Amino acid sequence: MDVGVFNAYPKDTELVQAANALNVYGRPDKGVVREGGTIVIITACSEGVGFHSLHGPGMRIYVNLAEHATYGKILRDRRVIIYSPNLSLADVRQYYPADTRLARSWPEVMELLTAWHGDTARTVVFPCASMQLSTEGSSR
């Protein structure tokens, strides 16, 4: 797809949990969003960045997702938009690649997507991505 919209709900109260929305990929090489495409992560982040005693900045196993063994492969060669009204760009840059865009409204997301992909982009939406599982490898 050109665009993948991944809603982090119900794990969307903190930015440290929002990447769980990408678990629907199953394997990072599955190819949900094509190279050059855009990943949109929707996350309320009502509690802001949140705190994780191992994965937070300065903690023992912290790594920006751009350098993460799994998430880094998913994000590589794709644009990333975080849609959240409750974050700052500085918050986002702690956890996501440096060129990640922060949108605080849906019209802002649509403006970016239209500028990058026009109005005919093939799009997939995962409404509860943090709870959805990949069917790759199943007997379906």
Q: Which residues pair with 4 in a beta bridge?
A: 39, 124
For residue 133, tell me if it sits in a domain: no
- Please report the pLDDT score of residue 81 as a whole number: 98
Closest C-alpha among 33, 1, 5 to residue 103: 5
Q: What are phi and psi of 87, to 5 degrees?
A: -125, 165
CATH of residue 67's domain is 3.90.226.30
For residue 26, tell me if it sits in a domain: yes
For residue 62, tell me if it sits in a domain: yes
CA distances from 81 to 91, 98, 111 (A): 13, 11, 12
Q: How far apart are CA 90 and CA 97, in angstroms?
A: 11
The segments of the chain whose pLDDT lies below 50 read 137-140
**Domain total in the chain:** 1
pLDDT tens-digit readout, 59-94: 777 788 888 888 889 999 999 999 999 999 999 998
Q: How far apart are CA 46 and CA 68, in angstroms?
A: 25
The model's pTM is 0.89
For residue 29, tell me if it sits in a domain: yes
For residue 47, tell me if it sits in a domain: yes
For residue 99, tell me if it sits in a domain: yes
Range of the domain at 61: 3-126
